[in-house]
Amino acid sequence: MKVPQLRFDGFDGEWKQQELSELLEFKNGINADKDSYGHGTKFINVLDILNNDYILSDKIIGSVNATVQQFQTYSVTHGDILFLRSSETREDVGKCNVYLDEEKASVFGGFVIRGKKIADYSPFFLKTALNNSSARNQISSKAGGSTRYNVGQGILSEVTVMIPKIEEQQKVSSFLMLLNRKTEKQQEKIEKLEQLKKGMMQEIFSQELRFKDEDGGEFGEWKSIKLNKILEERKEKCNERNLKVHSVAVRAGVINQITHLGRSFAAKDVSNYSVVKYGDIVYTKSPTGDFPFGIIKQSHIKEDVIVSPLYGIYEPKNFYIGYILHSYFMYKNNTTNYLHSIVQKGAKNTINITNQNFVSKNIQLPISEVEQKQIADFLRNTDRKIKKEKEKLMVLEEQKKGFMQRLFV
């Protein structure tokens, strides 16, 4: 039967199969010279499609200096569908998003194909249906290319999608938009907590915010401490022990490699891999994301694990000073400022730094272990709150995913 598993009351009958050519008129985007970008009309490109649940003018990242004729030819208005024309992966090519701004028009780029609305449909419903498995399989299976995958207007025109009457489309869209608003509010809550933590970190490390001792008195002044005074290199190797291989990630920190990457990338012989104990500081020595000189994390895994022998492993003087360093190096500016003068980049972007050099610089830190504990406890409590809110977001996203699978044919 051409009906979804889950349906709202008052709707019946089978859904109808339609080709996209009956709903949309396709066109490739603007290819302007490089001096035209960065000013002018809002300009929809790849990231706008991938990073938003729907597109509004104010959310668009880029702009282009479009002529009046170009604006008319390449305009994007409410209800238009935007497709990725090209991608490095077959999974992403042809993915789409919808333009829902009712007041402002925009234009679109050369890596995008616009589907101009020519029939009556609920825009958010169609966008969601096209990103579901049936339509995605049609598009990705026909995409051409080897190093990059591409789709054209012809492929998109022939894609078929199952849709109900407009009233049911609108009902489904309203429900999904409600779920989107819930996830957006949860994301905003997380962002506010993260901004609050960042602001508090700045106040703590500038010593504008100070904690009190048990008697309500002031702690002593912070001192500039060389890291080799509070971090001792751990040189323990795995040898014959059966320990799990872990990686280090910007957000997740020290994490099981299979959990993080889907499979193990470890060598067959891991006897030379470095042991990491709970509370240890790990320095990766490799560019990662926005961290050009590598990332620095404390292990919060309660059991012993192993990591690449290329990493530097250090036991902190106590857990609390380790957590303070972990929090300090969470921010790219702090990490870059600390590492840039002691790291040498070699061929192929490799990083040359000895384990001894890593701990050769000074950082302004609290001396009292009682103050260290108070700061670490405050930061840990904030991190626990953020983690709980992220878990709630994951639940909302899983619920949304489940509804989407059952609400569409």
Q: Are residues 247 and 329 in the same domain?
A: yes
With bands split at pLDDT 50, 70 and 90, how would you rate the model's confidence at 1? low
Average of per-residue pLDDT values in the chain: 92
Q: Are residues 230 and 243 in the same domain?
A: yes
With bands split at pLDDT 50, 70 and 90, how would you rate the model's confidence at 214? confident
Q: Are residues 255 and 336 in the same domain?
A: yes
Q: Stretch 254-276: mean pLDDT, rounded?
A: 85
Residue 10 inside a domain? The answer is: no
DSSP state at residue 9: T
Give the residue among 83, 1, 5, 101 at the shortest CA–CA distance from 45: 83
Q: What pLDDT, in 10s, does the model give residues 148-192?
A: 899 999 999 999 999 999 999 999 999 999 999 999 999 999 999
Q: Which of 164, 188, 204 is the last residue of a domain?
A: 164
Q: Are residues 400 and 279 in the same domain?
A: no
Residue 3 inside a domain? The answer is: no
pLDDT of residue 46: 93
pLDDT of residue 263: 72
Contacts of 69 (CB under 8 A, 6+ apart): none
Q: What pLDDT, in 10s, does the model give residues 34-58?
A: 889 999 999 999 999 999 999 999 9
Helices (H), 64-131: 68-73, 123-130
pLDDT of residue 181: 94
CATH number for the domain including 348?
3.90.220.20
pLDDT of residue 211: 86
pLDDT of residue 261: 78
Per the structure, how many domains does the chain have? 3
Q: Are residues 174 and 275 in the same domain?
A: no
pLDDT of residue 347: 65
C-beta of residue 22 within 8 angstroms of C-beta of residue 119: yes
The Cβ of residue 351 has, within 10 Å, a number of other Cβ atoms equal to 18
Angle at 177 (CA atoms; ends 176, 181), nearest 5 degrees? 120
Angle at 262 (CA atoms; ends 261, 268), nearest 5 degrees? 85
Token pair of 92, please?
Answer: 């992403």
Domain residue limits at 372: 167-219+367-409
Residue 375 inside a domain? The answer is: yes
pLDDT: is 198 or 241 the higher one? 198
Contacts of 112 (CB under 8 A, 6+ apart): 28, 29, 44, 45, 46, 49, 82, 83, 84, 85
Q: What is the DSSP secondary-structure string of 35-47?
A: GGEEEEEEEE-HH
- Give the whole-number percent of the chain exceeding pLDDT 70: 99
Q: Are residues 50 and 135 in the same domain?
A: yes
Q: What pLDDT, in 10s, does the model give residues 96-113?
A: 999 999 999 999 999 999
Q: Are residues 214 and 144 in the same domain?
A: no
Angle at 214 (CA atoms; ends 212, 219), nearest 5 degrees? 40
Give the residue among 172, 150, 149, 184 at the shortest CA–CA distance from 52: 184
CATH number for the domain including 391?
1.10.287.1120
pLDDT of residue 12: 92
Residue 84 inside a domain? The answer is: yes
Residue 4 inside a domain? The answer is: no
Q: Are residues 56 and 108 in the same domain?
A: yes
Whether the per-residue pLDDT at 259 is higher than 70: the answer is: yes
Q: Are residues 126 and 177 in the same domain?
A: no
Whether the per-residue pLDDT at 265 is higher than 80: the answer is: no
pLDDT of residue 229: 96
pLDDT of residue 124: 96
